[in-house]
């Protein structure tokens, strides 16, 4: 799920980011110079704008570059402003999601026979005190994520192999990932975020099929997207919905 840029030239270090404002005062951004060969611009959910540029780029070229992307920057800022997440709170009475459905967290006194479970709109988490709630939640999520994602990936993997008539078989690692949903290594190991089990199933499937496509194509080339669309004709809509979900739901 990660975009890759051309590799930097060896031995060049990035400079410290400097805050800049367009000459007309309309946009503020940070500029970082590094060893890459292209100008790059990103807009972040907190509203910050980051520009990275080759070391030799004159300031006038940086300003012209930002100016040329003004329409996109403004649309992206408006998109983020329209999809603000709720504050991430993991506490008794807080909300967590499982397969797209909200559950209210209930801390219950720890006892041997009580196991964490989803029950009637609640997630019951045995714990000794409020402080151990977060640990109890993470243990519960990791174990559930491992079993849910293992089964779902096996099912989708079988479908993809049948559709493509090949035998690329992944191995799976599940762990807590704060910023990404998944990745796939050259050796065929798919790493999935335990946080994925909060997603509605169509969005969860999108991430899994995306990574299964990376087993066959390691890049985000047109061939990769053609493969993804062949397996999942509404991949674009799911990707947009995933982006909105990620912005609107806190991630712990
Ligand atoms: Zn990807």
Instruction: Tell how far the Cα of 123 is from the centroid of ligand 1, in angstroms.
Output: 32
Instruction: Tell how far the Cα of 82 is from the centroid of ligand 1, in angstroms.
Output: 25
> 26: alpha, beta or left, given left = phi > 0 and alpha = psi -120 to 50?
alpha
Instruction: Tell how far the Cα of 88 is from the centroid of ligand 1, in angstroms.
Output: 26
Instruction: Tell how far the Cα of 206 is from the centroid of ligand 1, in angstroms.
Output: 11
> Rounded CA gap, 152 and 174, in Å?
13
Instruction: Tell how far the Cα of 166 is from the centroid of ligand 1, in angstroms.
Output: 20
Phi/psi for 216 (5° steps) reads -100, -30
CB–CB of 129/136 below 8 Å? no
Q: How far apart are the first and last CA of the chain?
A: 19
Convert the pLDDT of each residue in 78-134 to its tens digit: 888 888 766 667 888 989 999 999 999 998 888 767 789 999 999 999 988 777 898
Sign, Cα dihedral of 202, 208, 214, 215 = negative
pTM of the model: 0.73
Q: Which domains does the chain have, with CATH numbers?
A: 18-82 (no CATH), 95-248 (3.30.2010.10)
Convert the pLDDT of each residue in 117-176 to its tens digit: 999 999 999 988 777 898 899 999 999 999 999 999 999 999 999 999 998 889 999 999
Instruction: Tell how far the Cα of 226 is from the centroid of ligand 1, in angstroms.
Output: 13
Instruction: Tell how far the Cα of 21 is from the centroid of ligand 1, in angstroms.
Output: 33
Convert the pLDDT of each residue in 226-248 to its tens digit: 999 999 999 999 999 999 998 88
CB–CB of 105/118 below 8 Å? no
Residue 153: how many other CB atoms lie within 10 Å: 22
Convert the pLDDT of each residue in 5-64 to its tens digit: 555 555 557 788 889 999 898 899 999 998 888 999 999 888 899 999 999 999 999 999
Average pLDDT for the chain? 89
């Amino acid at each position: 799920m990660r975009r890759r840029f051309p590799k930097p030239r060896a031995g060049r270090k990035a400079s410290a980011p400097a805050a800049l404002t367009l000459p007309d005062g309309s946009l503020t951004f940070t500029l970082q110079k590094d060893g890459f060969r292209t100008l790059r611009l990103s807009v972040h959910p907190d509203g910050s704008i980051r520009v990275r540029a080759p070391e030799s780029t004159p300031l006038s070229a940086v300003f012209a570059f930002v100016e040329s992307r003004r329409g996109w920057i403004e649309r992206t800022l408006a998109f983020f402003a329209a999809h603000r997440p709720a504050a991430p709170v993991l506490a008794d009475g807080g909300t967590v999601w499982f397969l797209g459905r909200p559950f209210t967290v209930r801390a219950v006194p720890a006892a041997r026979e009580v196991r964490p479970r989803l029950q009637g709109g609640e997630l019951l988490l045995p714990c000794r005190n409020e402080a151990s709630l977060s640990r109890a939640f993470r243990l519960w999520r990791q174990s559930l994520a491992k079993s849910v994602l293992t089964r779902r990936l096996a099912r989708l993997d079988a479908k993809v192999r049948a559709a493509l008539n090949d035998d690329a078989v992944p191995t799976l690692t599940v762990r807590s990932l704060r910023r990404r949903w998944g990745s796939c290594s050259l050796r065929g190991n798919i790493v999935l975020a335990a946080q994925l089990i909060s997603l509605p199933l169509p969005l969860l499937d999108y991430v899994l099929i995306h990574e299964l496509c990376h087993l066959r194509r390691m890049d985000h080339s047109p061939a990769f997207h053609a493969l993804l669309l062949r397996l999942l004709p509404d991949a674009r809509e799911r990707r947009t919905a995933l982006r909105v979900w990620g912005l609107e739901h806190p991630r712990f």
